[in-house]
Amino acid sequence: MSPLLEVEGLKKHFPIHTGVFSRISGQVYAVDGISFRIDRGETLGLVGESGCGKSTAGRTILKLLEPTAGKIRVRGEDITDLDQDRMLPYRRQMQMIYQDPYASLNPRMSAGEIVSEPLVIHGVGAPKDRRERVAHLFERVGLRPELAKAYPHEFSGGQRQRIGIARALALSPELIVGDEPVSALDVSIQAQIINLLMDLQDEYQLSYLFVAHDLAVVEHISDRVAVMYLGRIVEMTDKTTLFETPLHPYTEALLSAVPIAKYGARDRRRVILTGDVPSPINPPPGCHFHTRCPYVMARCRHEAPPLCEVQSGHWTACHLHDGGVRYPLAKPAEP
């Protein structure tokens, strides 16, 4: 059976226009050749520092941004080059939950109108059926149906995000991309929203691409985790393996920064990266991480490591693990 979503070599570059005539003087390499798959009912967490291309990847997969290169397949069908009209049937199956619950809702529409808008656009049901569907969705996400007549400014942040979730569910999609859907919420509300998303996944057999930078949240909701750095995926495996035995130095550094480490990682020594994240306008040659890596070798500076399966289901892009053989990370010399 083909996966629900398959991404192969996906790239999204933004041209930089300068001068009076808006000539293209460069590119922002936001997403630079990522590949992964999501099966039915699975959650893939996409993590990394701010600016690494996570959100751009999610929007490009949904064709909210046109890809520069690569392939996007939904249930085995290539949707990469489809225009807006031919994309319409696929849009019913792929929805998005946005990061900011304050900016993602139209302030001039009532909550009920916001949730029913996808049904209107796709011509689903009669007006009475839509009202019943909206009332059911409000109850399912934990809101009273009579609140459908209220406007976004009358809701709290957590309630607004529940409206966004109800809107995403309106067309009964198979895949939902969550673009950091809990990062703007209080911690107590985050837990409620995460648990709601997991309950909805079990009930409707949903698949999630969950974009986040909070490793604790990703650990709680994800089945597998992909780690991004400067537009590329550097490691991907199931969440338990990632937290127990990270193979890429960047993943090791991310996990060492978690205040309360798990999976026996309390004894793992702290890895403090030097320098800043390079600009995606002019990324370093070779391995993008080599300017900050404590294990850098000469070949890292000019040869980009491919994403290889080092162990069954454990993929990483690092010259320390070339040839599909796992080598223990050698600790750098003490200063």
- CATH classification at residue 64: 3.40.50.300
Using one digit for the tens of pLDDT, what is the confidence trace for 148-169? 999 999 999 999 999 999 999 9
pLDDT in the model for residue 334: 42
Question: 1 or 277, which is more confident?
Answer: 277
- Strands 69-74 and 43-47: what pairing? unpaired
Domain-embedded: residue 249:
yes
- Domain assignment of residue 82, given as a range: 5-93+173-324
The rounded percent of the chain whose pLDDT value lies above 70 is 93
How far, in whole angstroms, is CA 226 from its chain's centroid?
Answer: 9
The owner of tokens 């454990």 is: 314
- Per the CB < 8 A criterion, the answer to whether 319 and 303 are in contact is yes
The top-scoring range by mean pLDDT among 113-122, 184-193, 316-325 is: 113-122
Is the pLDDT at 184 greater than 90, yes or no? no
Using one digit for the tens of pLDDT, what is the confidence trace for 62-114? 999 999 999 999 999 999 999 988 999 899 999 999 998 889 999 999 999 99
Mean pLDDT score across all residues of the chain: 89
pLDDT in the model for residue 81: 93
Residue 163's closest CA among 98, 88, 207?
Answer: 98
Considering just the CA atoms, what is the radius of gyration of the chain in Å? 21
> What DSSP string runs through 35-47?
EEEE-TT-EEEEE
The H helix count followed by the E strand count for the chain is 9, 12
Domain-embedded: residue 157:
no
pLDDT in the model for residue 326: 43
Domain-embedded: residue 273:
yes
Is the pLDDT at 7 greater than 90, yes or no? yes
CA distance 218 to 251: 13
Is the pLDDT at 267 greater than 50, yes or no? yes
Instruction: Please tell me the total count of domains within the chain.
Output: 1
Helix (H) or strand (E) holding 59: helix 54-61
Domain-embedded: residue 156:
no
Residue type, 285: P
Domain-embedded: residue 133:
no
pLDDT in the model for residue 8: 94
